[in-house]
Amino acid sequence: GPPKFRLGEAEEQDEIGVATALAWTGVGGDVLSVEVALLEGSGKLVLTGQLGEVMQESAKAALTYARSVISRLGITDRFTEKTDLHIHVPAGAIPKDGPSAGITIAVALISALLGLPVRREVGMTGEITLRGKVLPVGGIKEKLIGAHRAGLKVVILPKENEKDLQDLPPKILKELQLVFVKHMDEVLPVALKGFPEKLQTMVAASAVA
């Protein structure tokens, strides 16, 4: 048969604008990169990588949240009408859908906009709301097995998925550091390298409002 496409390996280094999502395919769990590039343009959002409708909506919600974080931090010049945001999820030939890459897209966007690298050993899954709440997703067992196989060390999961850890091999629970979150404010300091405490307190303070 055709060669199996090799999606899942952790990134080789911390990169700006690249975050790792946990995926759940017909054959089990895997990891996907989400890439964000800022380009000169006219304020458009460009989505590529055969993203289905739900994933596209998820990307738009992630962008709304990212914009609110950036504006709360007083950084608006990156979001002028002269910048296009390009979100790509390789491999382009494989269709992808579902809301569970929402928090990953938000992390990749904020990484690109703040110029802070994403920790390569961190993977994540979770749906995002416009206000940055993190909602539960499916396929947790398969996703964690895929994350472990890919060599990730830390996985960020929705708090409401904490109950879905039964049946997981003990080795995986021992070797992966699991971080359960309810809001993106808890995701950014774990996922972004050098996310300054000052920003953390500013983001947290404004999230309460």
Q: Judge if pTM exceeds 0.75.
A: yes
Task: Please report, for residues 1, 48, 165, the alpha-carbon distance to residue 62 in angstroms, rounded to integers and kept in the order given.
Answer: 38, 15, 26
| Residue 80: per-residue pLDDT | 66
Four-residue CA torsion sign, 158, 11, 101, 69: positive
Residue showing tokens 């995986």: 172
Return the active site residues.
Answer: 100, 143
**Residue 45 in contact with residue 87, Cβ under 8 Å?**
yes
Q: What is the pLDDT of residue 5?
A: 39
What are the mean pLDDT values of the chain's consecutive 10-residue runs (209 residues total)? Answer: 48 90 90 95 91 96 92 72 90 88 97 94 97 96 96 98 93 96 96 79 60
d(CA 92, CA 74) in angstroms, rounded, equals 35
Domain extents in the chain: 15-193
Q: Please determine, looking at this structure, whether the domain spanning 15-193 carries the CATH number 3.30.230.70.
A: no
Q: What's the pLDDT score for residue 55? A: 96
